[in-house]
């Protein structure tokens, strides 16, 4: 059974930093690209970032480019999202998702981790 | 960027109803469209990909159609477990999601 478990969310002040983790199990992690998608309270889904299976290639939404960094550790079956320069508009539940192939749709999603940016 | 427009934003229906949700792309995305179901406090679940292919384990009352810029998700006979929010997503160029359609009890 595929499982994705996000952690690391919490309350942070504007300008602060936070690192999200997503631990994967139930599939060969190193064979699949992974993405982060966020959902602001009461709003829709918004793609944030993606990383290729090897970690060589990374992709970002314009809204987070230069502030967020995606990475992965295939030995730990974990993908990360390092967030810095956080803004109130970054407040959202952050989901990690397993892609079927880089750039294709996501066949499994985690339950999400809430990030709140507020003073 | 490819924009996705979903309608309606809210749909009121009864158990047993046939329900249709529409998604329009701002440019052709061929058949590179997925549909997801999301329940409160949970991550999305994939229902359909490539516009009309049912994901493993998804009930056959769900179906998808369309290509190019116009797509539909149909639930042939609404069940109690189907009251949720539905999103379309294009993956022709990056990922863009529709605004969502919340299916509520009439």
pLDDT of amino acid A102: 76
Helix (H), strand (E) counts: chain B = 0, 11
B31 touches chain A (CB under 8 A): no
CA distance B71 to A96: 26
A109: nearest CB among B41, B44, B95: B44
State residue A101's pLDDT score: 82
Please check whether residue B1 is in contact with residue B94, taking contact to mean a CB–CB distance below 8 angstroms: yes
User: Nearest C-alpha of chain A: how many angstroms from B15?
Assistant: 25
A94: nearest CA in chain B?
A: B43
pLDDT at A48 > cutoff 80:
yes
B54 vs A: CB within 8 A = no
pLDDT of residue B78: 97
pLDDT (average), residues A27-31: 96
Q: Min CA distance, B104 vs chain A (Å)? A: 16
pLDDT of residue A65: 98
Q: Please tell me the predicted confidence (pLDDT) of residue B67.
A: 97
Residues of B in contact with A24 (CB under 8 A): none
Residue A4 — pLDDT band, cuts 50, 70, 90? very high
Q: Determine the pLDDT at residue A103.
A: 80
List of chain A residues whose C-beta atoms are within 8 Å of the C-beta of residue B42: 111-112
Q: Is A109 in Cβ contact with B97 (below 8 Å)?
A: no
* Mean pLDDT computed over A27-48: 97
- Percent of chain A scoring above 90 in pLDDT: 96
Query: Which residues touch B89 (CB under 8 Å, ≥6 apart)?
Result: A45, A105, B4, B33, B34, B35, B36, B95, B96, B97, B98
The parts of chain B modelled with pLDDT lower than 70 are: none
């Amino acid at each position: 059974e595929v499982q994705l478990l996000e952690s690391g969310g919490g309350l942070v002040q504007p300008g602060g930093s936070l690192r999200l983790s997503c631990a994967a199990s139930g599939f060969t992690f190193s064979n699949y690209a992974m993405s982060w998608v966020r959902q602001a309270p009461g709003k829709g889904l918004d793609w944030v970032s993606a990383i290729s299976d090897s970690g060589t290639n990374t992709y970002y939404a314009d809204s987070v480019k230069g502030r967020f960094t995606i990475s992965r550790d295939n030995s730990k079956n974990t993908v990360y999202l390092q967030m810095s320069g956080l803004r109130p508009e970054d407040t959202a539940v952050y989901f990690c998702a397993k892609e079927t192939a880089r750039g294709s749709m996501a066949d499994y999603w985690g339950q999400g981790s809430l990030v709140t940016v507020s003073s | 960027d490819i924009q996705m427009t979903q309608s309606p934003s809210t749909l009121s229906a009864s158990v047993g109803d046939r329900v249709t949700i529409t998604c329009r792309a701002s440019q052709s995305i061929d058949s590179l469209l997925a549909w997801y179901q999301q329940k409160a406090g949970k991550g999305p679940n994939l229902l359909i990909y490539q516009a009309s292919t049912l994901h493993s384990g998804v009930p056959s009352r769900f179906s998808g159609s369309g290509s190019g810029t116009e797509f539909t998700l149909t639930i042939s006979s609404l069940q109690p477990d189907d009251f949720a929010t539905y999103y379309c997503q294009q993956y022709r160029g990056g990922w863009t999601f529709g605004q969502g359609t919340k299916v509520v009890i009439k």
